Structure 1
Amino acid sequence: MNDSLISIILPTYNRAHFLPACLDSVFAQTYTNWELVVIDDGSTDSTVEVLEKYSDPRIVYIYQDNQGVSAARNTGIAQCKGEYIALLDSDDEWMPKKLEIQLKYMQANGFEICQTNEIWVRKGKRVNQPAKYVKPEGWFFEASLNMCLISPSCTMFTRKAWGDIGPFDVHMPSCEDYDMWLRACLVYPIGLVSEQLTIKHGGREDQLSNCVPCADLYRIRALVKILQCGKLDADQAATAMQELETKVLIYRQGCEKRGKNDEADKVWNLFCMIRDGKEIPLNTLR
């Protein structure tokens, strides 16, 4: 394993309470040739005070007005220096050998993108993952259409891969990872380190999955983007179209139950246009 620089991209917004555990897990890494790019996305809590307790030249601190996690990650990656890029959410943690094992696995097997298995913690208690969330390895674009099968805090990729799949979509306040990994799975096989080297916390009301309404609309946006990218073969396009119809129907039913019939009709009409081979502007799905 060579001594490649790994840039750790850590966006944070009012997560001062969780930052110490996250930061401690970075400083505990057995692989030490890293830089930690912290993007403070307009925090108004004690985030700065927490970071000041960690005096290390490998930390790069960037402050920006609140723009969302996608813009924060894009900012960090644009300014980082590493050949490899590892994502870490500010409420997650890594096991001490995460970077060492993952980098070695990528280099030994020629993967441009790789993730690790993870431990799930919900409301402070470790829980078992449902079988449908088991992570695959290799080429699994079709399987990733149904649901996001890659976790940001588990993921490391090369700068070359980022050039092919980035940036994150700043118009997606949620499901931005689903959108990104659809593009990734289309052009790269994804490596998997079998060890559980990431601790993923969840089950809190302040998480994006709970704070952003109508996540299904953003999954629809991601599917429209991938269908309109011009890179799918006939089988991939047919599978993606089938998944788009399924998600549109679910979203439509939800709108109708809430009395939002105009929104239900709008999204269904847009689907019909896509099904008929017409291009639609993505700003209609925001």
Structure 2
Amino acid sequence: MILALWLGSVNRPPCPWISNQLGSQALWENMELVSIIMPAFNSAEHIQEAINSVLVQTYVSWELIVINDGSTDHTASVVEAFDDPRIILESRPNLGVSVARNRGLELAKGDWVAFLDADDIWAPFKLEHQMARLSGEKVRPGLIYSDYLEFNEKGSWPAKPLKNFPHFRREGMIFDQLIQHNFIGTLSVLADKQSVLEVGGFDTNLKGPEDWDLWIKISEKKTLLFVEEPLALYRQNPAGLSKDYLNYERELEKVYQRHLLKRGTAEQIRFGRWLFYRHMAHGFARQGRHQMAVDRLESAFEQRFLAWQNLASLAYLIKKRLGF
């Protein structure tokens, strides 16, 4: 079980924010409730592992709200088998992940909300480390997020940071960065519920990048914090929405039109569009849609012709075209 790889770290030394800023038992004496929202659609295969990663959290003041979004498998019975009063299950017709998350927000009793999909996993100290960091802040941020890892059925764990773009700030007032590229993993987010509600929650008209749109809207008004530590595991799922890259491209374009193209500088637009076209080129190449991949990479070259990463993308497209 993937979670077992992290369990040995539960008794690790306290994270820096606990040891350096709290000193006493202040964190544990004044624990704020965290409402965890988990949308689930036909998730019986993986949801037990996801819930287990919540149950072993070293920060214990939480509630888990599972929104069973019209599942036709035995997702509900898997959740009902957990004997913990902190786990709340609501079953409803299938209306999509954004509607499910917004319903979770309506049910949430905590002032902080976190998001975990039913096939992803948290580190046992995920909430502890984020809440400890928050305790040292004078100004309440809109959200705090962290690094995360990706994994698949083969057990590979490639990281997904922005190591090649050091000029991107990861915390503070980072609206200008976020409109160019989404570098926040939803499974890593711990958000101030009021900040989420003030901007209208998840846009149900978007199918895929609704989380990115929400983080942008929050970042326009509030500071964001970042924990430079992988606190979650994202499961690579070929059956997910992002596999339909043509539809995904259309939905991403809506977010670019809404934010970057209206508010960004000329250089920010060039950089954001360059990232977008390279991302889509890689996606189409993985699907074997090679002409679409080439078209998107040509667009990337038009945005930043001399960027060395273009050659890496070209090599990737050639490798996929040759069947590797």
For Structure 1 versus Structure 2, the TM-score category normalised by the shorter chain is: 0.7 to 0.9
Q: What SS is found at the alignment partner of 1:118?
A: strand
Please give the per-residue CA displacement for 1:92-132, whole angstroms capped at 9, x wherever unaligned: 11111111111111221243310122122133423332553
RCO (CA 8 Å, sep 6+): is it higher in 1 or 2? 1
Q: What is the TM-score when the length of structure 1 is the normalising length?
A: 0.77
CA distance in 1, matches of 2:223, 2:191: 12
Indicate if the aligned counterparts of 2:179 and 2:260 stay in contact, CA closer than 8 A.
no
Q: What SS is found at the alignment partner of 1:209?
A: helix
- Residue equivalent to 1:117: 147
- Residue equivalent to 1:222: 255
CA root-mean-square deviation: 2.9
Indicate if the aligned counterparts of 1:145 and 1:243 stay in contact, CA closer than 8 A.
no
How far 1:160 moved relative to its partner? 2.2
Aligned partner of 2:73 among 15, 37, 45:
45
- Residue equivalent to 2:219: 185
Q: What is the TM-score when the length of structure 2 is the normalising length?
A: 0.69
Q: Which moved more, 1:146-155 or 1:36-45?
A: 146-155
- Residue equivalent to 2:178: 144
Query: Structure 1 stretches of 5 or more lacking a match?
Result: 259-286
- Residue equivalent to 2:156: 126
Query: Structure 2 stretches of 5 or more lacking a match?
Result: 1-26, 285-290, 293-324
Indicate if the aligned counterparts of 1:120 and 1:200 stay in contact, CA closer than 8 A.
yes
**Pair 1:74-2:102 in alignment:** yes
Where do 1:1-286 residues align within 5 Å? 1=27, 2-109=30-137, 110=139, 111-129=141-159, 132=162, 136-202=170-236, 204-211=237-244, 213-226=246-259, 232=263, 236=264, 238=266
Indicate if the aligned counterparts of 1:95 and 1:197 stay in contact, CA closer than 8 A.
yes
Q: Which moved more, 1:19-28 or 1:100-109?
A: 100-109
CA distance in 2, matches of 1:75, 1:239: 38
- Residue equivalent to 2:18: none
State the identity %.
Answer: 28
CA distance in 1, matches of 2:71, 2:277: 38
In structure 1, what residue type is equivalent to 2:87? I
CA distance in 2, matches of 1:116, 1:245: 25
